[in-house]
Amino acid sequence: MIQGPQNIPFAQSSDSQQVPPPYHFPDVTVNAFVWPANMKRVQAYCDQTFNLGSEEERGFVYRPAAMWPYATLLFLEYPIMISSNPLPQHFDEMPYSDRGIISQTEVFIAVPVIRYGTDPVTLITETTLEWALPFIVVGNPMSSVCGREMLGLGKLLADIKTREGRFPNSFHGTIKMPGWRSLEPGAQMDPKLKFVDVKTNPVLPTFRSSENQRRSLSTLFESREASWLIEEMGSLSNLVDDISLGMIPTTMRTVGLKQYRDAIDPTRAIYQSIVTCRAKYSNINTFRMYDEKDIDIEFNDVGSFNEILQVFLEVGDTPSGRKYPLTPVAGFQFKADIDYDQMRVIHSFAIDREGGLPPIPAQSDLVSSWARPWKGFFGPLTHPMRNVE
Amino acid sequence: MTRFVGNFSTQQLLPPWVSLRAKSWVFIIKVKRKCLQRYLNTHFNAAAPDQAPFHYEALNYTYGLMRVTQHPDFSSCHNNRPGTQTLSKIDIDWAYPCYRWRVSPENIRYDRKIVWVEPLSFDNNSYTMFSSREIWGTETNMAHIEVDESLTRGKLHIDMAIEGLKKFTPKSHSHLLGCLHIRVDTETQSTLMEQIEKDRDLAAFAGVLFASVGLQGQSLVTHDSELNTLKQFRDVFNMKVAVYRAIVQSRSDHENVSDIKIYDGSNVKLDFMWSQTMAESLHRLFGLRKKHAKTAERGHPGGTRSIDGHEVDWDLPCLNKDVVLAASFTSDIRYDVTGTLHTYGN
């Protein structure tokens, strides 16, 4: 159980834009594009982001999920975002859930990773599948602040446009965000530098296909059995979380590194922890596939964008200054309700402090989601809301 | 040392920051002392759970500054590499000076010093917004800001809008709301002497203000430009608890100050737009009340206007706040973090 940091109260400002979790997002439109990821690069990302310090101290190690060696780019359009926390933050305050709703578009790249326990017991009880989000951008400033300061998701603010493409039922998505074309001192930031452009032809079946659709992965889903499987996955989504140990992506447990810089020495962290949250997809409907051969994805390998592209694309160590075209192996669209909850600090790293203050020791709460009820039955209750007590 | 893991999402502008040829407009506003003291009590004087060895007290001359600064060349000078991550931006903040006393373990106050606090801050560049929040601890909000000197000859026009809710109801939809509107008649200038002769408190405040700005030929060491911010981050599952809370000390030094112009407050019209998102801030920091909003005129004083091509909802009560004195100047500004005064939760 991770103990809270000495019950330090947060001074709530009247204009605070931080909306308390959990959240409910009904009727979200998702466009997803899948391509093979380089496992070495994903491992390097895991080592840099999660496998900090020694394995003995941490008690876990993150590795890429070998059974799903792909990266997924998701465009999510949220018509309604609601805080589903009915409690007020202060006794005389209106709960955030009653204040109103926001809309936004979000884009992220998800890479499945597996956290392995490092001894025979924890290898069974603490091994779990999670989704790392090395790139995540949103269109709403409140969402970016909440993601960064509470959930450990490095959400950047971007200008995201999603629309129907040239043809009916096609998709066109663009991200423009602040960036530098050159990393040389004095180069001015471009506040709307294009990061990625995605274009598709109409969803299948369509006659606007450039190649024989019989050679497409998507033809698999034209079969009655496969269509039934998709529908059943949607209707069974409340159960799959329990029976699949989190391996089916209708429930994504995201993992992120929540950390903050010291003001005087910004290379030093004053707080560093691994946070997981559950994104549960339910009521999945209108699942439709694109012909992957007619999906054009172009990332912009310039200046400050090169660093992130190195995680999931085969780009060089220095920006090429050119577009990087990508051919996905699958593309699909669906609608779903998404609940975002079960925020948990699973490991907080030890923090050395200055000024004669005692160091804050490392703490862990690594039991995987499927084993948590068993641990609760046989051991002390470790519900997240109790962690701070 | 716990090493911070740099990545794409934390490509922040690391301090110190340098802004070249920054154009500033400052508007001196008088507010009630309790508005100044309330923020100091909740953010600096409260036990959390331990008490910081400082006590913050509002000055007797109860003025603050609404500052609008246009930065055409703003960059990080970290590791003595000037011009790193250069960008342009506009920021707006509400800041005021206060006394900071040291407090002994026996609860005796000593060593009084004037420092500045910044309860309200807006920025139109997301990179500096994140850096301000996550490094300095300033609670900066993202805004759309327009400074227009060319709209009408002899008139400066400043508009600011934020994402927010007009009214709090379960069905309200967040959108871009007008927040602040300022108009200055820049053709009618005044002199500082004319203004401070009218108001002795203003003379004292002007003294503090000038002590915080380095005029040409003055040594930077003599400045009193210390800013204190409360840097805090929430816990992931308990919103009322912070995982880190500290008082951060920084300073901003203005150099090469030039082109100073003074305007009589009567030539300035400063209006806050009342929405439920802004209501509490306007009440707590400026003493504006809902009853003022009920009788106020609605809408943008110059008609409906968009900012950066984004449509802004200005159909909101427009609450005027008197400006005592305004000034504009151009300067080079250097922002430095100088220390962490107190870390809570020892």
DSSP B127-146: HHHHHIIIII---EEE-EEE
This model of the complex carries an ipTM of: 0.91
pLDDT band for position A380 (cuts 50, 70, 90):
low
pLDDT in the model for residue A369: 66
Instruction: Kindly state whether residue A1 falls inside one of the protein's structural domains.
Output: no
pLDDT, tens digit (0-9, with 9 covering 90-100), for A207-233: 777 666 555 656 555 555 555 555 554
pLDDT in the model for residue A3: 54
pLDDT in the model for residue B221: 47
Instruction: Kindly state whether residue A16 falls inside one of the protein's structural domains.
Output: no
CATH of the domain at A140: 2.40.400.10
Whether A38 contacts chain B with CB within 8 A? no
Which DSSP letter does residue B237 get?
Answer: S
Reply yes or no on whether the pLDDT at A241 is more than 50.
no
pLDDT, tens digit (0-9, with 9 covering 90-100), for A18-72: 788 889 999 999 999 999 999 999 999 999 999 998 888 888 999 998 888 889 9
Buried b (16+ CB within 10 A) or exposed e, A192-202: ebbbbbbbbbb
Instruction: Kindly state whether residue A249 falls inside one of the protein's structural domains.
Output: yes
**Which residue(s) pair with B77 in the sheet?**
none
Q: Does the beta-carbon distance from A178 to B87 stay under 8 Å?
A: yes
B184 or A384, which is more confident? B184
Instruction: Kindly state whether residue A85 falls inside one of the protein's structural domains.
Output: yes
Instruction: Kindly state whether residue A385 falls inside one of the protein's structural domains.
Output: no
Instruction: Kindly state whether residue A309 falls inside one of the protein's structural domains.
Output: yes
Q: Does the beta-carbon distance from A257 to B5 stay under 8 Å?
A: yes
Which contiguous run of DSSP H or E holds residue A221? none
Q: How many domains does chain A have?
A: 1
Reply yes or no on whether the pLDDT at A377 is more than 80.
no
Q: Which of A 52-81 lie inside 8 A of B, CB atoms?
A: 52
pLDDT band for position A85 (cuts 50, 70, 90):
confident
Residue with tokens 């599952």: B237
Instruction: Kindly state whether residue A253 falls inside one of the protein's structural domains.
Output: yes
Q: Please state which CATH number belongs to domain B17-343.
A: 2.40.400.10
pLDDT in the model for residue B26: 94
Reply yes or no on whether the pLDDT at A315 is more than 50.
yes
Average pLDDT over residues A265-281: 92
Whether A187 contacts chain B with CB within 8 A? yes
Best interface-test mutation with A: which of B9, B20, B275 has the largest number of A CBs within 10 A?
B9
pLDDT in the model for residue A381: 47
Instruction: Kindly state whether residue A353 falls inside one of the protein's structural domains.
Output: yes
Q: Is the pTM of this model over 0.80?
A: yes
Question: Which amino acid makes up residue A129?
Answer: L
pLDDT in the model for residue A5: 56
pLDDT band for position B160 (cuts 50, 70, 90):
very high
B216 or A208, which is more confident? A208
Reply yes or no on whether the pLDDT at B270 is more than 80.
yes
Q: Which residue in the set B230, B281, B346 is minimally distant from A15, CB to CB?
A: B281
Instruction: Give the contacts of B166 (CB within 8 A, at least 6 positions apart).
Output: B172, B177, B275, B276, B277, B313, B316
Question: CA-nearest residue of chain B to A12?
Answer: B240
Q: How many Å lie between the alpha carbon of A279 and the closest alpha carbon of chain B?
A: 15
| CA distances (Å), origin A290, targets A76, A206, B219, B292, B313 | 16, 9, 67, 56, 39
Dist. CA B124–CA A63, nearest whole Å: 39
Reply yes or no on whether the pLDDT at A373 is more than 60.
yes
Domain that holds residue A310: 23-378
**Percent of residues, chain B, with pLDDT higher than 70:** 94
pLDDT in the model for residue A50: 95
Dist. CA B244–CA A260, nearest whole Å: 9
